[in-house]
Structure 1
Amino acid sequence: MHKKTHWPLTLYFDGDCPLCAREIHMLSRHAPPARLVLVDISRAEFDARALGFSLEQMQDSLHARFDDGRWVTGLDATLWSWRAAGLGKWAAPLAWRPIRPLFTLGYRLFCRLRPHLGWLPHPDGSRRCRNERCALPDTAKTKPPIARR
């Protein structure tokens, strides 16, 4: 991106995703609000349609928007959110042209697997508890039954 960067960057993330929530927690500790605004798309009040997307589109790939209205998605959203947090040196390899195709492939694989990672511990354990009820993801479909002797 050769244009002037218009901060803040608004990052739209899925707060119900345990791995995503861990990354967001780390970014939020480093990023000043003037550079990075975090929006949890899993919240009931979030309206993807108001942004011109469906919720499914926003869940399929990370989305971020600069203050001037420019959107970045996927790896670019990750790269720019880390830059906004002052951690760009750690994400710099995402911009390296020779290995970018490998990162793109890895990101696509992660996006496919992400919905099935709900069983991982969430950094905010209370996220699984809403309206005084707690629920764990249904793992019966993904794990074989335990054999009894």
Structure 2
Amino acid sequence: MKQLMQADHQGLLRFEDIMQPDFTARYPHIVPEKASAILHGQQEDGTLLLGLDVTELAWRSVGQKRWIRLLRWPGIRIVADFCYRIFAKHRYRFSALLTGQAQCEACTLPRTAQEAPSCPLPTIKTTKSAIKSKE
């Protein structure tokens, strides 16, 4: 998330902290527990995206990591989505193995890249032009 925030030079993405008390009032159609299990995104028109569809659109919106589009190709998509579900379910274990830190003890999520913390909480990323949606 931190890399994505830093890549968003035009402010196209908006990040939401699903743990905020007013989250369900603002996004009644998104269950925080489900959003914590799989990345959620919402386009401006209200279309809800999940998992790698969110990841691909977010990176495409900021003009980086174009290779991620390959993960949405037919055939590859099925395998990539399966792998993503495994990763999402065990993301804290993967994080601990790769970084030595399973998750943040206490941190908050900014709404802009300029306010980026050292470790974001699960989010909904939104974009002004392409998308409205944790690791």
For 1:76-115, list aligned pairs within 5 A: 76-115=53-92
Q: Which runs of 4+ in 1 moved over 6 A?
A: none
Q: Distance in 1 between matches of 2:41 and 2:52?
A: 10
The aligned amino acid for 1:100 is: R
Name the structure 1 match of 2:114: none
In 2 relative to 1, CA 101–129 (structure 1 residues): closer, same or farther, beyond 3 Å?
closer
Mind listing any 5+ residue stretches in structure 2 that lack a counterpart?
108-135
What letter matches 1:65 in structure 2?
Answer: Q
Q: 1:118 and 1:89, CA in 2 relative to 1: closer, same or farther beyond 3 A?
A: closer
Corresponding pairs, count: 102
Q: Which has the higher contact order (CA 8 A, sep 6+)?
A: 2
Q: Distance in 2 between matches of 1:88 and 1:65?
A: 20
> Which structure would you say has the larger Rg?
1
- Mapped to 1, the partners of 2:49 and 2:60 lie a distance apart of 13
CA distance in 1, matches of 2:54, 2:30: 16
CA contact (8 A) 1:48 1:58 kept: no
Offset, 1:96: 1.2
| Residue of structure 2 in register with 1:55 after alignment | 32
Tell me the TM-score normalised to structure 1 length. Answer: 0.58
CA RMSD, Structure 1 to Structure 2 (Å): 2.5
